[in-house]
Structure 1
Amino acid sequence: MSTPDPAPPPTATAQPDSGRYADEYRFVAQVRHICRESPGARAALRSGLGKPVDRCERMHWVVAGLVPEKDRGYESERPYYAIASMIAAAPASQSDGKNSTDPPAPAQRSRTSPRTLGECLADAVDKGSIRESGAEAKLQLLTRQSTGGLHRHLPPVMRLLDSRLDIGDWVRLLADLRAWETNRQRVARRWLQSFYRRRLRTEQFTAEQADAAEHAQAPAAP
């Protein structure tokens, strides 16, 4: 019995940094649309979570035609399969693009560009979803991995990020996974630096708020 093709996604209008990440944006937008419109396709994508491409038999009918032609090969396809499975496994508010009602963390309020994985973990610390020591340990573990190890260890880390990931965050992660094989040290450095910079920014924000509150409560000089 043949399986129906997923419905094509609507034309995207506001692509984050689309000139640089055009292929990644197109793929993520298509996967999110498919997850929203087809529960069966979403279940098929979830079945490949953390698995190498050769063990993702149920995913092929959804993903194979979405991978850009220039990236069709085992190693180059693997990031696309990984991202598709993680989007499908994420809570509905992350995978289908619906707006979150959670107020943004202090460090997120002025965010205009896609976050790195390090920034996503730092924001999860801000929200209290994970302790800072735990987030740091997870990130340190990921940055030491080979390509195979990264794909094995990444899905459990992504499940910790209950703060909503928007389309730009998924796009940035896909771009980083594509670059891991040839530029692992550079990607790892960006993840670590962005984590510590975001944590420092939050600590500074918290200190400034405390100083302002203390100043407001201080009695006026006679």
Structure 2
Amino acid sequence: ITAWNDPAIAAENPGVTLPELDIIPVNRSDESGTTENFTEWLAAAANGAWPHEASGDWPLSGGQSGAQTQGMIDTVSSAEGTIGYADASRAGDLGTVAVGVGDAFVPYSAEAAAAVVDASPAAEGASDKQLTIELDRATTAAGAYPVVLISYSIACSVYDNQQDADNVKGFLTYVASEAGQQRAADPTVAGSAPISGELRTAVEAAIASISAS
């Protein structure tokens, strides 16, 4: 498939007039966690069509590329027919892709990003205080968008004095709160997708368990 109006693409987009343009893939030219995240999803969800392992270095050579996120955005924006990958918070006016999940195509949204976290199992070694997730990149959960990256806040479970414990609990309580999550969702702050209410309940319980010796 080398053109946007290829019959295989048209079959997945009934009723849509597709442009007669070459597909121009754009990748990061530098080693990148975004590239590793994207290729991890490709390796898990492409049913063998992507033969490469997840890596921070793009495994193919000879295509269009850009250094760092801004270089990627600039390269994608500079021509017609391009497609690349970047943090959603940096996409700006560029279109975003609905990805195949089960029998449906799920567009990106903060809610869909939170949904894949809720639909994924706990990672090995996780507990009620260590809320680590093994992202299910090949999920078929309705409304889940599996091309995401999870960031964690890390704290001690026990502090030497009550003041330190209270300060950490206060900070993390705000971070996990609806107000804190909405603040972090601001593209000028972090551009992250807010956690779900279900996950917030588990996070708040873990925070409440922090104590002083």
Range into which the TM-score falls when normalised by the shorter chain: 0.3 to 0.5
Which is richer in strand? 2
Q: TM-score, normalised by structure 1?
A: 0.33
| TM-score for both structures, normalised by structure 2 | 0.34
Q: With CA pairs under 8 Å and 6+ residues apart, which has the higher RCO, 1 or 2?
A: 1
Higher helix fraction (1 or 2): 1
